[in-house]
């Protein structure tokens, strides 16, 4: 990731990494990553951890560099201790396999110049149990795992000794707790020498009440870092919403994508599995390619999809966010909570998606917290980004049965909460003004395409996709290490079962385009969509550069 920088707001440019007295091997790796200055959370965490040996509870914005904030002190301490015999010194707990791989890869980058002095093991990779056991016997200095995986291995294999552990990290701690890993964490306490020469890091962009109980169990007078508020004047994330109805969401997305109204890569969120397939099939009618990311896909495919998306192979990723988190005070249905445990929720939470221009909430999340994590997938790594959310008006909800999503009934309520939280963080959500009349030209084509996607076609597509991905996943498994080049041919954005031959829908006839765009297709992105007569209906001129929603001009 050389040349990449986090959003300037977070960077602590009064300090350089040299000032932490880090081992030259680590400094060189940080250099290679392209980091010039530490972020605020990194400065604080590195100092507190290395100089004061403090336990740390950190709440810092998405994309503010929390991973390095705990990885750098860990790697530094291991190098400084220079133990003659290796031993398992650190455990990093993360909520998903995706994050396990991400943190594992990151640690490998940080330790690239450390030779065999630091071995990192990902307990959630695909290696067979035999292989994993032999890797455990090699006593890796750092182990990355989900809590459930770690506990399974601990219970099965007495060779995994964590009594000499020096560092324990729980990343995305509120998510780990919200979704039933408490039992695993409690079991884990039996295998640790808690509060005895062990430093603990609890990290997240959002924290909940349950973190307090964890604090009592695991931490010893922790330093609590809250680095949420950044410079209010200099925001790289612009946020819009559109109030609409269930059915018109499909019209909006069709027009936005077909007319290329958003420049750059889009990460689109839907709230349930079938909707992801419905949307993909619907867009397929117009020749719009997309790639799905959901918990049902084999993990290898998921990892590969994220990797390829980060390499800009796909422009549109439809992620299913089944987390359905609730804000504090909102009673969460017990059944729902159980369901969340069963599925592997949050395939996108915490994932370091690169260069996402727009997070598009096709379905609004159910909580302001989930919103923070979703929109935090953009405006990372020094880039600007936008979030656009479709919000279903309560009075419109349920009028179009097939297009309706149960959670959307509360969209307006959730939006109010989101606005409140974002205001606290110094952000503002603006209504995206446009002239709905101009969309109407596209309505019959949208309806045509919508009708072609039936329940049966969704079911078939889902089955086909999983079969396809299982095959891909097997190939990925075998080839992941040996032939990375081969992977390029394994695309995940292929069309799903043909719903109908809809070639006529793929092309937009000239007469349907707003005047400014006719005859010159290149002009499409600059067509007026806003009603210029409406107050506030235009995007301000000087916003054009940072605003990925293109301005329309006659």
Binding site for ligand ATP (CB under 6 A): 1, 4-6, 35, 38-39, 42, 60, 62-68, 205, 350, 352, 376, 380-381
Question: Cα separations (Å) of 503 from 134, 408, 508?
Answer: 55, 32, 10
Pick from 354, 447, 439, 352: nearest CA to 403: 447
Nearer to ligand ATP, 43 or 452 (CB): 43
Q: Three-state secondary structure along 386-402?
A: EEEEEEECHHHCCCCCC
Q: How far is the CB of 520 from ligand ATP (least distance, A)?
A: 38
Nearer to ligand ATP, 20 or 247 (CB): 20
Q: Which residues contact 504 (CB under 8 A, 6 or more apart)?
A: none
How far is residue 182's CA from residue 188's CA, in Å, rounded to a whole number? 10
Tokens of 227: 């680095």
Pick from 451, 443, 418, 428: nearest CA to 245: 443
Nearer to ligand ATP, 351 or 429 (CB): 351
Minimal CB distance residue for ligand ATP? 65
Tokens 């884990």 belong to: 188
Contact 429, 524 (CB under 8 A): no
Q: How far is the CB of 95 from ligand ATP (least distance, A)?
A: 11
Helix axes 97-110, 299-310, angle to 10 degrees: 50
Q: How far is the CB of 66 from ligand ATP (least distance, A)?
A: 3
Burial label for 30, CB within 10 Å (0-12, 13-18, 19+), is buried
Q: How far is the CB of 101 from ligand ATP (least distance, A)?
A: 13
Nearer to ligand ATP, 37 or 245 (CB): 37
Nearer to ligand ATP, 95 or 528 (CB): 95
How far is residue 273's CA from residue 291's CA, in Å, rounded to a whole number? 13
Nearer to ligand ATP, 348 or 457 (CB): 348
Q: How far is the CB of 73 from ligand ATP (least distance, A)?
A: 13
Nearer to ligand ATP, 106 or 254 (CB): 106
Tokens of 236: 């790289």
Nearer to ligand ATP, 73 or 376 (CB): 376
Q: How far is the CB of 34 from ligand ATP (least distance, A)?
A: 6
Q: How far is the CB of 435 from ligand ATP (least distance, A)?
A: 35
Sign of the torsion formed by the C-alpha atoms of 354, 359, 365 and 368: positive
Nearer to ligand ATP, 294 or 348 (CB): 348
Tokens 């990797």 belong to: 307
Q: How far is the CB of 350 from ligand ATP (least distance, A)?
A: 4
Q: How far is the CB of 381 from ligand ATP (least distance, A)?
A: 5
User: Cα 217 vs. chain centroid, distance in angstroms?
Assistant: 29
Q: How far is the CB of 4 from ligand ATP (least distance, A)?
A: 5
Burial label for 484, CB within 10 Å (0-12, 13-18, 19+), is exposed
- 364-377: string of b/e by CB count within 10 Å (b at 16+)? bbbbbbbbbbbbbb
How would DSSP label each residue in 489-522? G--S----S-----HHHHS--GGGS-GGGSS-GG
Nearer to ligand ATP, 112 or 194 (CB): 112
How far is residue 175's CA from residue 326's CA, in Å, rounded to a whole number? 11
Q: How far is the CB of 64 from ligand ATP (least distance, A)?
A: 4
Nearer to ligand ATP, 147 or 376 (CB): 376
């Amino acid at each position: 990731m050389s040349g990449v920088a986090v959003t300037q707001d977070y960077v602590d440019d009064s300090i350089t990494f040299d000032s932490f007295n880090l081992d030259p091997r680590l400094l060189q790796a940080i250099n290679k990553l392209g980091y010039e200055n530490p972020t605020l959370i990194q400065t604080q965490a590195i100092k507190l951890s290395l100089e004061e040996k403090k336990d740390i509870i950190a709440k810092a914005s998405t994309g503010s560099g929390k991973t390095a904030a705990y990885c750098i002190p860990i790697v530094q301490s291991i190098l400084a201790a220079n133990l003659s015999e290796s031993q398992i010194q650190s455990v990093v707990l993360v909520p998903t396999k995706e994050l396990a791989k991400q943190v594992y890869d990151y640690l490998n980058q940080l330790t690239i110049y450390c030779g065999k002095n630091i071995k990192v093991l990902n307990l959630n990779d695909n290696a067979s149990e035999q292989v994993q056991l032999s890797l455990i016997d090699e006593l890796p200095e750092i182990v990355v795992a989900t809590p459930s995986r770690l506990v399974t291995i601990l219970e099965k294999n007495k060779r995994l000794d964590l009594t000499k552990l020096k560092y324990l990290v729980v990343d995305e701690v509120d998510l780990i707790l919200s979704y039933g890993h408490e039992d695993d964490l409690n079991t884990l306490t039996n295998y640790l020498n808690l509060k005895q020469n062990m430093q603990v890091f609890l990290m997240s962009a959002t924290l909940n009440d349950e973190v307090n109980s964890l604090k009592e169990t695991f931490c010893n007078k922790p330093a609590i870092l809250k680095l949420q508020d950044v410079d209010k004047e200099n925001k790289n994330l612009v946020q819009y919403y559109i109030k609409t109805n269930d059915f018109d969401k499909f019209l909006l997305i069709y027009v936005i994508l077909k007319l290329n109204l958003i420049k750059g890569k889009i990460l689109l969120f839907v709230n349930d599995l079938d909707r992801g397939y419905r949307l993909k099939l619907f867009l397929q009618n117009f020749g719009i390619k997309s790639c799905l990311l959901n918990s049902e896909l084999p993990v290898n495919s998921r990892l590969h999809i994220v990797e390829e998306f980060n390499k800009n192979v796909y422009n549109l990723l439809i992620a299913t966010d089944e987390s359905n988190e609730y804000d504090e005070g909102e009673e969460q249905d017990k059944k729902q909570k159980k369901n969340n445990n069963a599925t592997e929720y949050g395939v996108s939470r915490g994932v370091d998606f690169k260069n996402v221009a727009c997070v598009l909430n096709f379905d609004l999340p159910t909580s302001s917290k989930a919103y923070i994590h979703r929109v935090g997938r953009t405006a990372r790594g020094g880039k600007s980004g936008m979030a656009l959310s479709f919000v279903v008006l309560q009075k419109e909800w349920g009028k179009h049965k097939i297009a309706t999503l149960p959670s959307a009934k509360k969209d307006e309520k959730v939006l109010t909460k989101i606005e409140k939280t974002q205001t606290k963080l110094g952000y503002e959500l603006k209504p995206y003004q446009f002239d709905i009349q101009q969309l109407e030209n596209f309505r019959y084509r949208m309806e045509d395409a919508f009708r072609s996607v039936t329940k049966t076609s969704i079911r078939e597509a889902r089955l086909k996709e999983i079969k396809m991905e299982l095959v891909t996943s097997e190939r990925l498994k075998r080839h992941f290490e040996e032939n990375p080049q081969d992977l390029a041919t394994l695309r995940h954005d292929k069309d799903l079962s043909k719903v109908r031959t809809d070639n006529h829908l793929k092309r937009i006839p000239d007469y349907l385009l707003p005047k400014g765009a006719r005859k010159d297709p290149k002009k499409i992105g600059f067509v007026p969509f806003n009603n210029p007569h409406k107050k506030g209906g235009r995007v301000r001129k000087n916003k054009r550069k940072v605003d990925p929603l293109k301005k329309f001009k006659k």
